[in-house]
Structure 1
Amino acid sequence: METLTFRFENGSRRNGAQPQLVGVVSSGNLEVLIEPAALNGACEIEVKTAAVGFGAIWQAVMQDFHARWPLADARISINDMGATPAVVSLRLDQAAESALQGQP
């Protein structure tokens, strides 16, 4: 297992009040948990993955996610069992949509 951490400053979209969980950890998939957190407008992401050595790909996927969803005061936990970047992006989008439901 490998643990990767990312932090993005100056988010513009506040996370909702309730934690949101999407996905299921099983062979080839992952789960994403988004929780509100007092981070001075930042978004922190922790990835625990069974696919060791793909840090550069995770960085690119997380940067793309933050460009589309500039979350503020959000902590994201990802548990991965080898999901493809497309599945990671899909699950992150689902979690962000759920967390921001009803917000402009």
Structure 2
Amino acid sequence: MTDKQMKTMTNIFGVINLFMTPLVFMTMWNWYVTQIGAPHVGYWLSFGIVLLIDFSIYTPSYLNTLVYQDSHEAIDFKFKKSIGGTTLVVWTLVLGFLIHLFV
């Protein structure tokens, strides 16, 4: 895969993660946290909560020198990181669903 293709795929996975993460958060919240008396949350509220959490645990990118590089290693690192993020979101939903079946 060329560097340009990896950059494009990294951006696509980034957009997927941007919209899937609040969906998974909302689903997991409504499956589990509402069981202890918390209110249901909708998609846009969960989007805001995820944004708040991301802001709270944000690490400045200057701590990672690969962010500013345009080398093949940097592009490959960002590509693998974006795939890992999407995989984490999907697996969280799948495992959460399996646990939800037994609750």
**Structure 1 length as normaliser, TM-score?**
0.27
By percentage of residues, which structure has more helix? 2
By percentage of residues, which structure has more strand? 1
**Structure 2 length as normaliser, TM-score?**
0.27
In terms of Rg, which structure is larger? 2
